[in-house]
Amino acid sequence: EAQVTQNPRYLITVTGKKLTVTCSQNMNHEYMSWYRQDPGLGLRQIYYSMNVEVTDKGDVPEGYKVSRKEKRNFPLILESPSPNQTSLYFCASSWMGTDTQYFGPGTRLTVL
């Protein structure tokens, strides 16, 4: 089954404790992206990647890192999480940027 998976689905952590949210797709898509969704602000793009080793900043990249060492994986790294990074995070992938996006199920992160 074609899908985008994210782990963990739920995470409660404390300020400053490094964490990684994984994202994996099995569709051989070139384009992958991370979004955060906050009440009243909607979805905002954090980082995206057009291919292996090619990444670029979205609208809200501060406090986040990404890497794209393999085509199928695009982890989101929070080196020193802060409470303002409490949010619902979605990973997505597509063949190309201008194409139907397939979204993961979301990761609800709470930073205390």
Partner 1 sequence: KNEVEQSPQNLTAQEGEFITINCSYSVGISALHWLQQHPGGGIVSLFMLSSGKKKHGRLIATINIQEKHSSLHITASHPRDSAVYICAVEIVGSNYKLTFGKGTLLTVNP
10 binds partner 1 (CB under 8 A): no
Tell which positions 39-98 bind partner 1, by CB under 8 A: 40-45, 48, 50, 56, 58-59, 90, 92, 96-98
8 binds partner 1 (CB under 8 A): no
Amino acid at 45: Q
Contact in structure between 25 and 72 (CB atoms under 8 Å):
yes
> Could you identify the residue written with the tokens 């085509």?
71
34 binds partner 1 (CB under 8 A): no
Angle at 60 between CA 58 and CA 63, to 5 degrees: 115
- Burial of residue 15 (number of CB atoms within 10 Å: 0-12, 13-18, 19+): exposed
99 binds partner 1 (CB under 8 A): yes
CB closer to partner 1 out of 55 and 81 = 55
**What minimum distance in Å lies between the beta carbon of 14 and partner 1?**
26
Tell me how far apart the alpha carbons of residues 87 and 54 are, in angstroms, rounded to a whole number. 25
Q: Which residues bind partner 1 (CB under 8 A)?
A: 31, 33, 35, 40-45, 48, 50, 56, 58-59, 90, 92, 96-106
